[in-house]
Structure 1
Amino acid sequence: MDSPYGAALSAEDFGLRGPRGWAFRGVGFTAEPGSLVAVEGPSGSGRTCLLLALTGRMRSTQGHAEVGGERLPGRLGAVRGFSALGPVPGVNELDPSLTVDEHLRERALLRRRFDGSLRSLLRPRAERAAEAADTVGTALADAGLDLGTLPKAGRTSVRDLERLEALRLSVALALMGRPRLLAVDDTDLKLSAADRALAWDLLRALAAGGTTVLAVCSEAPRDALVVRTRPAAGPDGPSDDTTTGKDTADAIAGTGRA
């Protein structure tokens, strides 16, 4: 990776209240570019909603945040432009029926269509193909996914991947857009202790390379900047991480894109 270019993060009294109460509230922290930020808390404490709000996918309703110099909730589109989602259940999931190669080809095509300039689209096909292959190769290397170790290499179906392999693939797809901020949900879910350590090693290396990493987890590593969430209680109603179902889809649709 090149020199650090990650997005600085900060939040002050940041919160989001949905139809069934507060998803999260009163969040405050500051993180430098290239930080590893762990959003730690129990399921149902608004972790996913906070991740989506900080990446411009959900609109907060209290306080403010600043991501890469862009103030939220006002500059949602700008933040979405330089942030990328890794795996987020119900929002950005791998298709189990597709192979690894199919996912990579699809992402390369989407990136060329929506992120490329008109001039780049007019370049010779061989040149564009070589650039796409280089982008895929770099992303796979940065995510630590060696296709040669998979049962059928790139023809391996997502449903046949181990949990850590699927995580690496999701991260690789996100890295193809060269994001300044990478967000990963449920980082340590269903991972053995050994695989959990490898997952954090991956995210730690990406942060060291300059990408700011925002990772939801149940237990954060000691070297991460930890932002803790907790279920809200009282007359305002419980925190509702289930907003990552239909309510989250609706909220994301309201921002313009996932």
Structure 2
Amino acid sequence: MDSPHGAAVTAEDFGLKGPRGWVFRGVDIEAGPGSLVAVEGPSGSGRTCLLLALTGRMRPTEGRAEIGGLRLPRQMAAVRRISALGPVPGVNELDPAFTVAEHLRERALLQRRFDGSLRALLRPRAERTAAARGRIDAALDAAGLDLVTLPKAERTSVRDLERLEALRLSVALGLIGRPRLLAVDDTDLKLSDAERAQAWELLRSVTDNGTTVLAACSQAPRDAVIVPTGATTAPAPADAPTDAADTAAGKNTTEEGADDAFAETRRA
């Protein structure tokens, strides 16, 4: 696989407001091409919505951001073309009934249909098949997924994959399109300490090949560009709550706002 040139990610006072309040606000990012950017926060803190906004899949409310020199929200469609989603619950999940091979074939076909040039589409069938196989093999290699090690090789169903294997498959699917930016949600969810270390090593290897990675997580590695979500991303107003009950209420508002904004995006 040719090493794609990663997209620089910058944001200033970036925010998104849902029907019931701010999902995230006051986000600042400065990350060069090929960076590992860790969006750190607990579940419900708006980290998934931030990933979707930075990849052009959710329209921000305030502030500015640029992905590879493309401005958000003005150039959302262009940002979508240079970015890809790894696993994002509710948006880009693996189908547990599909086999690994079925997922790979489907993604390669979609890539060829929607992103291929007219000249590529007119090439002989054997040549197109070989090119698709080459992309799949390169993506699997970049994601560190060896099909031979799976219970039934490429005929293994997704439901039979271990959590880390499923993560590698999702990353491979995203890399088939050779994106400049790859977004991965719930990076460290349900992983042991050893598996978590392997997951971050996987994403570092992707950045070493030139692709910028945005990864949502509950605990970020110290060598990443860390972007906190939740209360820490927004400037505190003068009348900010100080007791535990008010703080909990503010957290619930963030979670509800994220749910509402997320639902609006899925309907769009």
Shorter chain as normaliser: what TM range?
over 0.9
Tell me how far apart the structure 2 counterparts of residues 31 and 107 of structure 1 sit (CA, whole Å): 29
State whether residues 22 and 257 of structure 2, in contact with CA within 8 Å, keep that contact through their aligned partners in structure 1: no
Q: In 2, Cα distance between the equivalents of 1:14 and 1:55?
A: 13
Counterpart for residue 243 of structure 1: 258
Aligned residue in 2 for 1:224: 224
Rate the CA distance shift 1:70–1:170 in 2: closer, same or farther, 3 A. same
Percent identity between the aligned chains? 71
Letter of the structure 2 residue corresponding to residue 133 of structure 1: R
1:243 Cα deviation after fit: 3.4
**Greater mean deviation of Cα atoms: 115-124 or 6-15:** 115-124
Runs of 4+ in 1 over 3 A off after TM superposition: 1-4, 231-237, 241-244
Displacement of 1:112: 0.9
Q: Answer whether contact 2:18 2:257 (CA < 8 A) is retained.
A: no
Tell me the distance in 1 between the aligned counterparts of 2:34 and 2:60: 24
Q: Distance in 2 between matches of 1:69 and 1:249?
A: 29
Which aligned pairs between 1:41-52 and structure 2 lie closer than 5 A? 41-52=41-52
Find the counterpart in structure 1 of residue 35 from structure 2.
Answer: 35
Provide the rounded CA distance (Å) in 2 between the counterparts of 1:252 and 1:178. Answer: 25
TM-align CA RMSD: 1.8
Classify 1:107/1:3 alpha carbon distance in 2 versus 1 (closer, same or farther; 3 Å). closer
Partner SS, residue 239 of structure 1: helix
Contact 1:46 1:230 in 2 (8 A): yes
| Partner of residue 122, structure 1 | 122
Q: How does 1:63-212 map to 2 (within 5 A)?
A: 63-212=63-212
Consecutive unaligned residues of structure 2, counting only runs of 5 or more, are 235-239
Tell me how far apart the structure 2 counterparts of residues 122 and 197 of structure 1 sit (CA, whole Å). 44
The Cα offsets for residues 102-121 of structure 1, whole Å up to 9 and x where unpaired, read as 00010111111111112111
Distance 1:125 1:119, change over 3 A: same
Q: TM-score, normalised by structure 1?
A: 0.93
Could you give the per-residue CA deviations for residues 196-232 of structure 1, whole angstroms, max 9, x where no partner exists? 0000000001111110000000000111010001247
- Partner Cα distance (2:256, 2:132) in 1: 37
Residues paired across the two proteins, number: 253
Shift of 1:249: 4.4
Larger Rg: 2
* TM-score of the aligned structures, taking structure 2 as reference length: 0.90
